[in-house]
A and B are shown apart, each in its own frame.
Chain A
Amino acid sequence: GAVVSQHPSWVICKSGTSVKIECRSLDFQATTMFWYRQFPKQSLMLMATSNEGSKATYEQGVEKDKFLINHASLTLSTLTVTSAHPEDSSFYICSAGEGARGEETQYFGPGTRLLVL
């Protein structure tokens, strides 16, 4: 299957700093990527839809100024957690779809563990 990578896999930062997470589709192009947040032993919560060349679409309750998304190319989307605080500590996962529209399969990255001290 298709491969999606994320970088970094782990990040520890001080409260108030910004953290950038990259999501790449390695062997296919993705006009749309998705960003999720996951708490321990819980399911994935969709944060936003990243659209190549246009603004991201955020889910209700997700602050767009807090979680900046940039999808500048067909293989790269970035999520920047601005002025991170301890409550932002979580597991962040991205996905990208491969296949014809309506028949896509979503492939997930390995996730990024963020710990804000």
Chain B
Amino acid sequence: TQLLEQSPQFLSIQEGENLTVYCNSSSVFSSLQWYRQEPGEGPVLLVTVVTGGEVKKLKRLTFQFGDARKDSSLHITAAQPGDTGLYLCAGASGSARQLTFGSGTQLTVLP
């Protein structure tokens, strides 16, 4: 069974601070996706990383895929209240369509 551990589980910070969320596994993934979910809604895809060592930037969000494709991180610069939500990483293996989800990080950015 593949497991994805996310940390921290909960994070509450002030507006303007930086933060990093980690997603770790002992398994290798062919790709890894990051989602953000708001209460009462489905997860919304933020980014997909495929290549080991890949770094992708989406405005104030920076995503990195580990060289061995076993881990990933999400870094948010100058967090804003609108960044509040549940952040989920999810890994895909080979040609399998099934995703393995991390445990989630509940982020609260206080104004």
Chain A interfacial positions (CB closer than 8 Å to B): 1, 4, 6, 32, 34, 41-46, 49, 91, 93, 95, 97, 101-111, 113
A106: contacting residue among B33, B95, B102, CB under 8 A:
B33
Between A and B, how many residue pairs show CB distances below 8 Å?
Answer: 62
Q: Are A110 and B48 in contact (CB under 8 A)?
A: no
Chain B residue numbers with a CB within 8 Å of A102 are 30, 94-95
Least CB distance from A22 to B in Å reads 14
Which one of B14-22, B38-46, B57-65, B67-75 is at the interface?
B38-46
Q: Are B45 and A42 in contact (CB under 8 A)?
A: no
A101: contacting residue among B33, B86, B97, CB under 8 A:
B97
Q: Are B98 and A49 in contact (CB under 8 A)?
A: yes
Check if B76 is an interface residue, CB within 8 A of chain A: no
Check if B99 is an interface residue, CB within 8 A of chain A: yes
Q: Are B45 and A111 in contact (CB under 8 A)?
A: no
Chain A residue numbers with a CB within 8 Å of B6 are 43
Q: Which of B87-110 contact A (CB under 8 A)?
A: 88, 90, 92, 94-95, 97-99, 101-104, 106
Chain A residue numbers with a CB within 8 Å of B106 are 41
Given A42-B104, A105-B33, A105-B48, CB of A111 within 8 Å of CB of B97: no
How far apart sit A44 and B90, CA to CA, in the bound complex (Å)? 10
Given A41-B106, A102-B30, A106-B33, CB of A46 within 8 Å of CB of B43: no
Q: Are B97 and A32 in contact (CB under 8 A)?
A: yes
How far apart sit A84 and B78, CA to CA, in the bound complex (Å)? 45
A1: contacting residue among B42, B43, B45, B90, CB under 8 A:
B45
